[in-house]
Chains A and B, each alone.
Chain A
Amino acid sequence: MEWQFRGDVPIYTQLCEQLTLAIVAGAFSPGERLPTVREMAVDAGVNPNTMQRALSELERSGLVYTQRTAGRYVTESVERIEAERQRIAETRAREFLAAMEKLGYDHAGTVDLLEQMRGEWMQ
């Protein structure tokens, strides 16, 4: 997995975001067993305690779960993953709409532009 970190946000927050994206994008499949905390920390080049904290956060949000002694798994609930994908998509769409508004595009203008770009999109 490719990891990238910015300076202004806690690393564990960024790990949560990137792990969530990886699950939503299918880099980890539903029900897949995750590598150990240490292995994941080494892969990302981050502190194991920070990785642990991020995974606990994902556990609280229901995207992963721990089975005593057997390790940590991605949720088997496709609905839960789908809901997360929807949530991220909405956030991204809102950011996009806010940026378009700044450029002076109203709702109709934005939709028109997207329509015009349909060909480019389909490729």
Chain B
Amino acid sequence: MSSILECKALQKRYGLKDALCGINLSLEPGRIIGLLGPNGSGKTTLIKLACGLLTPTGGEILIDGQKPSKETKAIVSYLPERMALPTWMTAKQAMDYYQDFYSDFRRDTAEDMLARLGLDERQTIRSMSKGMREKLQLILVMSRAAKLYLLDEPIGGVDPATRDYILKTIIGNYNEDAAVVISTHLIADVEQVLDEVVFLRQGNVVLHRSVDDIREAEGKSVDELFRQVFAY
């Protein structure tokens, strides 16, 4: 199977600091991958490189065999860490916007999920609670039939019920032939939805392994292993 995301000696430097130190990584479609690491380990940098929002300092990153471009943006669905939609928009306008931009947007799916949440489409983003904004944004992202979903901290700072909703929305809606990358440091919360994990530390990949392998071989959860790998 060919990789949906491939990094070859990928390097990104900000000033004097290497955010990514020449990593090699290959992710296959059909899997949910946890991109795990403490703050400042390079998770967001990697995701932004994959989206084409940053350009590599060295090496290369390929999406479905191509460098990030207009073509790859059409198959990548990205959830930024912060709300990226103008807050004056209503939920309906946000859906219009997605429909205009992305030909793979499944409007029925999005409308159906919003209805089940009991969210009025005429409500503006500004008037929504933080949890509701997160849910709306995730619904838009997951309603695309993309080949690669890049979710940057989708469960950061939400209550446990919202977190469950978000995780179930991800597993219930991703395109089966796609890869889903979830970046987070809240490992215990996402562990059971992941196929495999990538540990990043100070810009290096220190581990890339399947979750069940870790549990079988180490007799401990990924969360425990993470605490051990990143212990001071």
CB-based contact A38/B172 at 8 Å: yes
B115 to chain A, nearest CB (A): 17
Determine if B221 and A50 form an interchain contact, defined as CB atoms under 8 angstroms apart: no
Q: With an 8 A cutoff between CB atoms, is B209 at the interface?
A: no
How many A-B pairs with Cβ below 8 Å? 52
| Bound-state Cα–Cα, A4 to B224, Å | 18
- Report A-chain residues with C-beta under 8 Å of the C-beta of B171: 38, 41-42, 45-48
Q: Which residues of B contact A7 (CB under 8 A)?
A: 215, 220-221, 223-224
Given A7-B221, A11-B192, A42-B168: A49 and B215 within 8 A (CB)? Answer: no
Chain B interface (Cβ < 8 Å from any Cβ of A): 30-32, 164, 167-168, 171-172, 176, 192-195, 211-212, 215-216, 219-221, 223-224
CB neighbours of A5 from chain B (8 A): 192
Cα A8 to Cα B164 with chains together (Å): 22
Chain B hits for A12, CB < 8 A: 212
A19 vs chain B, min Cβ distance (A): 15
The A26-49 residues at the B interface (CB cut-off 8 A) are 38, 41-42, 45-49
- Are B172 and A50 interface neighbours, CB within 8 A? no
A45 touches B168 (CB 8 A): yes
Q: Which residues of A contact B221 (CB under 8 A)?
A: 7-8
Nearest first, the 6 closest Cβ-Cβ pairs linking A and B are A7-B221, A10-B212, A42-B172, A10-B215, A46-B192, A42-B168
Any B CB within 8 A of the CB of A70: no
Provide the bound-state CA to CA distance between A102 and B50, in Å.
Answer: 58
* Main SS at interface, chain B: helix
Our pick among B164, B212, B219 for the contact of A11 (Cβ within 8 Å) is B212
Query: CB of A9 within 8 A of chain B?
Result: yes
* Residue ID in chain B nearest A8 by CB atoms: B219
A2 to chain B, nearest CB (A): 14
Q: What are 18 A-B interface contacts by the 8 Å CB criterion? A: A7-B215, A7-B223, A8-B221, A9-B215, A10-B216, A11-B192, A41-B171, A42-B168, A42-B172, A45-B164, A46-B171, A46-B192, A46-B193, A47-B192, A47-B194, A49-B30, A49-B32, A50-B192
Chain B neighbourhood of A47, CB < 8 A: 32, 171, 192-195, 211
Q: A46 to B32, alpha carbons, bound, how many Å?
A: 11
A49–B172 contact, CB under 8 A? no
The interface centre, meaning the residue of A7, A12, A38 with most chain B CB atoms within 10 A of its CB, is A7
Q: For chain A residues 3-27, which have a beta carbon within 8 Å of chain B?
A: 5, 7-12
> Is there contact, CB below 8 Å, between B192 and A45?
yes
CB-based contact A49/B31 at 8 Å: yes
Residues of B within 8 A of A38 (CB): 171-172
Instruction: Out of A11, A41, A42, name the residue touching B215 (CB < 8 Å).
Output: A11
Nearest chain A residue, comparing its CB with the CB of B213:
A10
**20 extra interchain contacts, Cβ-Cβ under 8 A, other than A7-B215, A42-B172?**
A5-B192, A7-B220, A7-B223, A8-B215, A8-B219, A8-B220, A10-B211, A10-B212, A12-B212, A38-B171, A41-B171, A41-B172, A42-B168, A45-B168, A45-B171, A46-B193, A49-B31, A49-B32, A49-B195, A50-B212
